[in-house]
C-alpha cells in the first residue's frame, strides 16, 4: 500500500529537488509523477546536464535559446532536437545553467489521449524517449519557461525506486559521464542500460 504524501511534505521534497545538483536531481526524479493538463505518468528515465559539462547547452554561456537554464529553478526548458522533436528539461541546481532531461515516462494518466496524439496503441512506446514523451504530452516551445509545479504542469513525489545508472545517449562530448538514470527493470525506458554499472535506492 502506497501512503499518500501530504502537501507540506510534497512541497519540501520539490524544494529539495529543485536546489539539488543536476546529477542528484536526475536520480531523485525517478519514480515521481509528471503530468501536463492531467496527462502523463511516472518518470522512469532521466539525464543530468551541468553548466561545466561540455555536452550541456549551457556550457558556452547564456543565449536566447538556453536562457531558461540560467533563470529560476523549477522551470521547464524546452528545445527542439534535430529540428524535429521537442525535448523537456527541469532547471535545477545551486548555480545557474543546470537541468535534467526527462527521457521517459511510464504512462499512467490520460493514456487514451496519448494514444491518439502518438497514433499508436503500444503503451511501452508512448513516452519511451524525450521526443515521444513531448508528443504524448503535447509539450512544445510554448511551455518553455513555465513552472513545473504550476498548471498545466504537475510534479508529484513518488516512493523510492531501485535505480540503474549509465552513460548518456545521443551526445558526442563527455560520452562516458554516468549521468543517465533509470528505474531498474522498467520496460518503458528509451534504451536498455548497460549491466554492471551499479544501482541505488533513493
For residues 174 and 158, what is the distance between their CA atoms, to the nearest angstrom?
30
Q: How far is residue 108 from each of residues 20, 84, 90, 123, measured CA to CA in Å?
A: 27, 26, 20, 9
Residue indicated by cell numbers 508512448: 126
Handedness of CA 32, 47, 137, 127 (dihedral sign): negative
Q: What is the mean pLDDT of residues 36-62?
A: 96
What pLDDT is attached to residue 192? Answer: 94
pLDDT tens for 136-187 read: 999 999 999 999 999 999 999 999 899 999 999 989 999 999 999 999 999 9
pLDDT band at 202 (very low <50, low <70, confident <90, very high): very low
Percentage of the chain beyond pLDDT 90 is 88
Amino acid at each position: 500500500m502506497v501512503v499518500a504524501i501530504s502537501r507540506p511534505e510534497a512541497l519540501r521534497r520539490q524544494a529539495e529537488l529543485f536546489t539539488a545538483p543536476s546529477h542528484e536531481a536526475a536520480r531523485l526524479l525517478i519514480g515521481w509523477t509528471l503530468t501536463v493538463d492531467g496527462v502523463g505518468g511516472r518518470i522512469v528515465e532521466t539525464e543530468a546536464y551541468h553548466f561545466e559539462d561540455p555536452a550541456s547547452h549551457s556550457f558556452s554561456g547564456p543565449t536566447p535559446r538556453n536562457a531558461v537554464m540560467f533563470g529560476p529553478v523549477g522551470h521547464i526548458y524546452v528545445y527542439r532536437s534535430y529540428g524535429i522533436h521537442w525535448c523537456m528539461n527541469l532547471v535545477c541546481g545551486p548555480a545557474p545553467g543546470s537541468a535534467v532531461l526527462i527521457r521517459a515516462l511510464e504512462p499512467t494518466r490520460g493514456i487514451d489521449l496519448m494514444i491518439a496524439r502518438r497514433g499508436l496503441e503500444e503503451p511501452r512506446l508512448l513516452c519511451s524517449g524525450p521526443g515521444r514523451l513531448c508528443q504524448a504530452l503535447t509539450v512544445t516551445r510554448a511551455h518553455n519557461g513555465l513552472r513545473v509545479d504550476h498548471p498545466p504542469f504537475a510534479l508529484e513525489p513518488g516512493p523510492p525506486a531501485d535505480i540503474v545508472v549509465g552513460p548518456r545517449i545521443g551526445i558526442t562530448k563527455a560520452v562516458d559521464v554516468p549521468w543517465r538514470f533509470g528505474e531498474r527493470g522498467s520496460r518503458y525506458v528509451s534504451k536498455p542500460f548497460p549491466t554492471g554499472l551499479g544501482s541505488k535506492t533513493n
